[in-house]
Structure 1
Amino acid sequence: MSEASIDAALVAWVNTFGFTGADSIQTLDDLADGVILSRLLQDIDNDSYFKGLDQPTAQSHDPSNWVLRWNYLKRLFRDLERYYTEVLGQPPFAAAYLPNLSMLAKDANVAEIRKLMSLAVVAAVQSEKRENYVKKIQTLSSEQQTALMVELSQIMRDSNVEDNEVDPSKSTVFDDEYAETTEKVSELQEQKDALERAYGELKKEHQDLQVDHAALLEHWTDTHSKLETSEQTVQTLTLRANINAQRELDQLRDELQVLEPRLAEKETEAKTQQALTDSLRKQVGDLSQKAEAAKALQDELDELVHVAEQAKKQESTIAKYKKKLNDMSELEQQLKSLEDENASLTQQIQDTSNTDKSLQTYKATFAQLEEEKAQALSSIHTLKDELERAQDKIQSMIESSSKSAAEISLLQQKVQEMEADQHPAPDSENEDLGELGLELAGTSKTQLKIKISRLEQELRRWRCSGANAQPVEDDKDLRAQCVQLQQEKALLAEQLHGLVTLESGGSLDQVVDLRKQLLQTQQNLAAAKIALRDLTDSLAALEQELFEAKTELSMVGKDDLEAIVILKERNSARIKEVEGSRNDLARKVRELEVECLQQTRCLNEMSIDDAHHKVKGDQSSDVHVKETTLERENAKLREKKKVMLDQLEQLHKALQLARTDRDHLKEKLARAVDNDESSQLRAELSSVKQENRLIHSAYYDLAMRMSQNSVVVARASASPASWLAQQRKLLDRQFERGPDEDKQQQPSPSIHLTDNQLHSNRLSIMRSKFKDEHPFEKRKAEAERIRQKYVDRIPVICEKVEKSDIATIDKKKYLVPADLTVGQFVYVIRKRIKLSPEKAIFIFVDEVLPPTAALMSAIYEEHKDEDGFLYITYSGENTFGFEEL
C-alpha cells in the first residue's frame, strides 16, 4: 500500500475520537507535538498505566525549543513501548518501525510520525478496549481499512520474527540519541556540581565579610559613643583635663577616619559578592531544573534496571522471612532449655558452696575415723570367721547325728527281725542267721553280759560325773545372759537415742561410756563363743560314744535289747538338748554381732559429731589432696557458671535482636504481601490482555487464511467448520427458530452426521482421564474431605486437551483459593508449563470459555461436578481449527 493511503487512514482514525477545534487534525504534521498522541494513550489505558501522563508545556510548541518536544516525545514513546511489552506481553517493536524522535521533533518528519502513530494503533487494537478501536476502524472506508490492516499486520509480523533479540550492529538512532543525552546530562551534572561548590565557597566568603562588617559597625558605634562621651566630658573638665581629652579626641577621630574607608571597601565588596551570589543562584536554579530533569531520567532508568532484581530479592526475602518466623519457635524453646540449665547450674553451685562449708568440718577427723573404722572392720571380720567355723562344726555334728539316727533305725529293724525269729527250728538256725549266726555261735552269754555290765557302768559313771547336767546348766546360764544382753540392748538403744538428740555439751563422756559398754559386750561375746566351743566338744564326745555303742551293738544278744533301746532314747534326747542349746547360742551370737555393729556405727557417728564441734587437728596429706581437688572443681564450676551466664546474656541479646528482626520481618512481609498483591493484579491484567490479544490474533489469522484459500471460503460459505463457529451458529439458529420449530424441523443426514462427529470429537477431547482412573465414590469422598479441611479452597482437576500442542502440566490436582480469578489461575498454569509469551492458551469449563475476571468460587458453584471437583481443560490455539468431517 502507498504511504499516502496509510497517512489518510491514520488521520481518519484519529478524527474518529471526536477532537474538535484546535485539537482536530488535517494532516500528520498536526501530530508532531505529541498532544493528540498523549490523549490517545490516556484513552487506551487511563486507569493504571497512562494515568499520570502530563501534557507538554507551552514552551514545547515553540519551534526553537525542539529539545523539549524531543524529551516529551521520547517519554511518550518509552511509555508506549513499556506498555506494549510489559502489559500486553508482546515482543518489542521491530527495529525498522522505531521512529527517529529527533527528526520528528526538529523537522516534523511525516515518515517518523507515521511510524509512531502506527505503533500507537497496534497497541490500541491489542488493548482491553480493542473492540471500540476495531469499530472505529470499521467506520472508515474500505480502502482505508485495508491500508491500515496491512500496515498493522506487517508491524506485528516483523515484531514476532525478531522476538526480543536485536543485533548490536543494528542499533537504532534512538539508542544513539539516548547515549548523547546521557552524556549531556552527565556534563550538566558535573557543571552543576562545580557551580554548587563555587557557590558554597562564595557564600562562605560572603558570610565572613558580613561578620567583618558587623564587627566594624560595632567598633564604629563604640568609637562614636566614646566620642560623644568625650565631648560631653570636655565641657566639665579643667583646662588640663581638656588638653588630654582633646588629644584622645584627635586620636579617636584619626581612627575613625582610618576605619571609614575600610568600611566603604567592605561594603563595596559585599555588594559585589551579593551580585555574584545572585547570578550564581540564577545559574544554580537553571541547572537545578536541568539536573532535576536528568535525575528524573536517571531514576526512571534505574527503576527499569532494578525492577527485576527487586522482585527477585523480594521473593527471596519473603521466603527467608517465612523460614525465620518458623525458626523463631525453635529459638524460644532453645532459650527456655538454656534458662533451665542455667537455673540448675546455679543451684549446683549453691550446693557446692554449702558442701564446702560442711567439708571443712570433716577434714580434721577424717583420718582418725578411717583408722577406727579399719580396726572395727578387722574385729568384725575375725568374729565372722569364728562364727563361720562354729557353724561348720555344728553342721557337721548335725550330719553325723542324722547318720547315727539312720543307723539306729537300721538296728531297730534288725532287732525287730530278731524278735520275730525267737522260735526258729534248731537245725536251720545257723543257716538263717548267716554270718551273724556264725559270730554268735562263737561267743557265749557270759561275754555278752560282761560287755553290757561294762557299758552300764560307763553310762552310770558318766551320769555321776555331771556331764549330763553340764549342758543344762550351760543352757540356763546362756538364757540368763541372753536376757541380760537384751536389757543392755534396750539400755544402749535409749542411750543411742539420747546421744542422737543430745547437743554437743556432754557428748564426750557418753562416748566413753558407750566405748566401755562395747568392750563389755565384746567380752560377753567371747565368753559365749568359748561356751559354744565347749558344747561342740561335748557333742563330739557323745557322738564318739554313740559310734562305739553302735559298733558293740552287733555283738549284743537278744536279752539286752531293751537296755540298748533305752540307751538310744537317752542319747537322742541329750543330742536334741545339745542341738537346741547350740542353736540358741548361735542366735545369741548373731544378735550380739548385730548389736556390736550398731554400737560401733553409733560410736563412729558420735565421734564425727564430737570432732565437728571440738576436735581441730592437723590435716593429713590425703585430706589436703582432696581439698585441693575440691577447690579446683569449685573453680572450674565457677568458671563454667561465668561462661553460662555470658551465654545466657548473649542469648538474651540474641532473643531481643530476633524479636526486633521478627517485628521488622513482619512489617516487611506485610509490605511484600501488598506488593505481591499489586504484582498479582498487574499480572492478572497483563494475562487477561494477552489472552484477549491472542483471541483477536486468532480471529485475524483465521480471516487471513480464509481470504487466501478459496476452497476454505467455499466451505465456510456453506457451513462453519470450526468448533466455536459451529456452536455459535447452532445457538443463533435455536434463538431464531424457537423450541417448537426446532422440534418440528429435522436436520439433513449430512448435518446430522456432522453434529454426531462433532459431539463424539468433543467427548473424546474433553473426556477426563482423572474420572477414568478413579471411581466415583473415591473422588466424592476425597472432595468432601478436602472441602471440610480447607473451607476457603476449591478442589480443581486441570487436564490438557488430547490434540493440543501445549505441553502437559506436571500436576492435575490443585487447591485453588476461592478469591482467585480465572485470569490468575491461567497465569499459574502458564508458569507451571513454562509457556512462552507469544503462545496463546485457553481453558474450558463444561466446554465453555469462562470469563477471565470471574472468581473461581463462582465458577465452582456453577460448574462443579457431582463428585465435588471442578474439571478444567486447557488447550492451545489449534483448538479453534477446522474439524475433519
Structure 2
Amino acid sequence: MAEKENELCESLIIWLQTFNTAAPCQTIQDLTNGVAMAQILHEIDYTWFDVSWLSRIKDDVGDNKRIKIHNLKKILQGIVDYYREFLDQHILEFLLPNLNLIADHSDATEMGRLLQLILGCAVNCEKKQEHIQVIMTLEESVQHVVMTAIQELMSKDTLDSPTSDLPGDLESQLRRTIDALHEAQAEQEELKQRCEELDLQVAALQDERNCLIAETELQNERLNQLDTFDEPSIMVSKKYSQMQMQLEQMKEDNYRLEAAKEDYRIHCEELEKQLVETQNRNVELASLAEESRALKDEIDILRATADKASKLESTVETYRRKLEDLADLRRQVKSLEDTNLVYMHNTVSLEEDLKKANAARVQLESYKRQVQELHNKLSLESKRADTLAYEMKRLQEKEDALLKEKEVRHPLAYIF
C-alpha cells in the first residue's frame, strides 16, 4: 500500500514538472512549502487562483513550519472552494490531506492526496483538454498511474465527480474508451517487447550468417588450393554444399523474420494511431460529459420551471373560476353598498339623537342635582319649621299659662 502511495506521489510530481514554475518541484521536499503548487494552480486557472490569491502565498519559507502550514492551508482552502464553487463538488473531511504530516515529515501518502486534488482541478477546468493531452505525452507507466488517480478521484462516492451526472450510455462509453486505451497501451507494450525480441533474433541470425559467409569463403579458398579431386576434397565439397543450403535456409529465415518484423512495426504504428484516436475520443467524451452535465442542470431547471408553470396554471384556473362568480359578487357588493349607505344615514341620525340624548342626560343630571339640593333644603326648612312650630307651641303654652296666671292674680282688670 505504501509503495502504491509512493508511486502515486512520484508520478504526480513528474506530471507537475510539465508546468512552467519558478519554484522547484523535483521532490516532495520541494513541494512542502506550497510555493510550486500555488504557481501550478495559478497556471491551471488564473481567473480563480488569481494574482491576489497567489500573493498571499509566502515565498520566503525556509524551514519555518508555521509559514509552511500557512501556505498549505491557503492552497487547500483554495482547492476546496474551487471544487465547491466552480466545479459544484464537495470534498468531505476525511478526504482532505493531513497538512501537519506534509510539513513535518514530507509524508508521501498525504502529499499524494493533495496532488490528486490538484490533478482534479486540472482535468475539470476550462483548459482540461490541454492538460489531458499533456498527460498523454508522459511515459506509459506515469500515464497509467495518473489516469488511475483520475479514475479514483472520479469514482469516490463522497465526491461529486463530473461523470456522476452523465447518462448511462455516455458514462459506459467513456468507461469502455478508458478500458480500450489501457488495452491498447498493453498491446503496444507487448508489441514493443516482441519487436525487441525479433531485433535480437535478427541480430543473432546476422552474426551467424556472417560467420557462415566467412567460413564459406575460407572453404572456397581451400578448394581453390586443391589440385586434384581426392576423397577429402569430395567431403569438403559436400560440406560446402550443405553450408550453402544452410546459408540459403538462414537467408530465407532472415527474410521471413525481417518481413515479420516489418509487419509488427506496421501493426505497432497502427496501434499507435488507434491509441491517438482513442485519446482524442476520450477528450471528446470528456467534453460531451461536461456538456451532458450542463444539459442535465438545464433540464433540472426546466423541470422545476415546468412544475412551477403547472402550479401557476392551476392557480390561473382557480382565478378563472373566481372571475366567473365576479358578477354575483359585484351585485352583492352593490346591495351591500346600498345597505351600508342606509346604515350610514341611520347611524348619522342616531348619532345626532345620541348627541341630543347626551345633552338631555346632562341637563337631566343637572335637574336631578337641583332637585336633590331642593330636597335637602326642603328637609332643612321642614326641620326648621318643625322646630319653630315646636318653639311657637311652647311659647304659646307659656303665654297661655302666663295669661291664666295673670287672670288669677288680677281678675277685675279684665272686666273693665
TM-score interval, normalised by the smaller of the two chains: 0.3 to 0.5
Q: TM-score, normalization: structure 2?
A: 0.40
TM-score by length of 1: 0.20
Q: Which has the larger radius of gyration?
A: 1
Structure with the larger helix share: 2
